[in-house]
């Protein structure tokens, strides 16, 4: 049932983001991680470690996002093996607008359908699966603190 629930929520949330903002959830994931770091820049390796995207598909994804003007790729002047990905002003703007709709879609299709006690159980279980202490991540929700 976990797989089916994930697939249903993922498809609905992605369809909403594509319709309203032209962003897939993979693009949104990249924008989210770049927006969250100082300087809004990560190396391709750091970005690959952060996002929920296969590393093999990340290069093409970043190339397409660069062509859309959402990110820039730049070489590290000190190490030619390193490429940085930087969030552009357009990417930051698109993320800010999409974030509101992403949160609403996740709430409507997932969070609002759960009893608060069930949500707590799921959060504890997911923290355990990820090997993180319970409560280590901010809860998604209104305001700047939550990630969504």
For the entire predicted model, the pTM comes to: 0.82
Higher pLDDT, 135 or 35: 35
Q: Residues, the chain, total?
A: 148
Higher pLDDT, 121 or 18: 18
Name the percent of the chain in helix, strand, coil, to the closest 5.
Answer: 65, 10, 25
pLDDT digits over 83-108, tens only?
999 999 999 999 999 999 999 999 99
The per-residue pLDDT of the chain, averaged, comes to 88
Least confident piece of the model among 43-52, 63-72, 74-83, 126-135 = 126-135
Q: What is the CA radius of gyration of the chain?
A: 16
């Amino acid at each position: 049932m976990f797989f089916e629930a994930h697939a249903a929520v993922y498809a609905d949330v992605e369809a909403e983001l594509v319709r309203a903002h032209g962003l897939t959830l993979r693009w949104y994931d990249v924008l989210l991680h770049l927006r969250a770091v100082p300087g809004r820049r990560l190396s391709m390796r750091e970005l690959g470690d952060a996002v929920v995207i296969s590393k093999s598909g990340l290069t093409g994804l970043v190339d397409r996002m660069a062509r859309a003007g959402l990110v820039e790729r730049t070489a590290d002047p000190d190490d030619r093996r390193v490429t940085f990905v930087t969030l552009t002003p357009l990417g930051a703007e698109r993320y800010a607008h999409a974030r509101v709709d992403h949160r609403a879609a996740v709430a409507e299709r997932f969070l609002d359908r759960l009893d608060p006690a069930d949500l707590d159980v799921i959060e504890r279980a997911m923290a355990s699966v990820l090997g993180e202490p319970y409560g280590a991540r901010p809860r998604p929700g209104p305001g700047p603190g939550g990630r969504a």
